[in-house]
Amino acid sequence: MLEIKNLNKHFDGIYVSKNINLKIFRGSLTAVIGPNGAGKTSLFNLISGYIEKDSGEIYFQGMDITGKKPETIASMGIVRAFQVANIFPDETVYDNVLVASISLFKKSVNFLADKYSFKNIREHTDMILKNLSLFEKKDLKASELSHGDQKILDIAMALTLSPKILLLDEPTAGMSPDERKSMVKVIKELHKKFNLTTLFIEHDMDIVFGIAEIIRVMVRGEIIAEGTAEEIRNNPMVIESYLGKEV
């Protein structure tokens, strides 16, 4: 579904992506792990078009998307939820998702002329809020939500674009244990219910080992290993460079 070939990117001579080759298969739940500065977020930036590569190619469903703008890539189906929740804090939960939903519908219908369009948009908004257990909080301002619920709201806004691949950058960062459990539940349910191809960056190894089907390990811009939780947990190179002997 997503294939990266020989991808390279450096800043001032320091590689954040070095000869990256990987394939993401439809319906997979994949984690990218590694120490701070390994290049994980930069890889997401390259995939989603926020930075330009130095060399290499990125293919999505057989199409070369290398160098395309972020909004074009998102419209094709690669949608990103940001490390810091990208919401409108002074608007209600409902309006945050409604505005994002409009951006989807206006591409396919003349929603100003079609009397049914706003009904469809509201139904779409309701469906997303219910699936993410935010419907009961729809009248709250986004700023009134807990940190965990704000990040779930950010995912809700990403889902309005009907993604084929969802990119999650540290979805549990800064959360309490209970909030982390809620986020893990959301990720698992979205994957199970919609067979949503998901690629996520995470530092909490209990979460990674608990839900990821495939794990890729990045160190200094390179993918040094990939495999199942058991394979990564017992990989000597990964233990030496990242996990340590306690895992």
What pLDDT, on a 0 to 100 scale, did the predictor assign at position 111? 47
Q: Going residue by residue through the chain, which has 247 residues, state the pLDDT in tens, using 9 for 90 and above.
A: 999 999 999 999 899 999 999 999 999 999 999 999 999 999 999 999 999 999 999 999 999 999 899 999 998 999 998 655 678 999 999 999 998 888 766 655 454 445 546 778 889 899 999 999 999 999 999 999 999 999 999 999 999 888 999 999 999 999 999 999 999 999 999 998 889 999 999 999 999 999 999 999 999 999 999 999 999 999 999 999 998 855 5
What pLDDT, on a 0 to 100 scale, did the predictor assign at position 127? 94
What pLDDT, on a 0 to 100 scale, did the predictor assign at position 81? 87
CA distances (Å), origin 45, targets 104, 113, 142, 195: 22, 37, 26, 24
Cα 246 to Cα 184: distance, rounded to the nearest angstrom: 23
Query: To which H or E segment does residue 79 belong?
Result: strand 78-81
Its pTM stands at: 0.89
What topology is assigned to 1-77+163-247 in CATH? Rossmann fold (3.40.50)
In the chain, where are the structural domains located?
1-77+163-247, 86-161
Nearest to 45 by CA among 53, 37, 55: 53
What pLDDT, on a 0 to 100 scale, did the predictor assign at position 57? 97
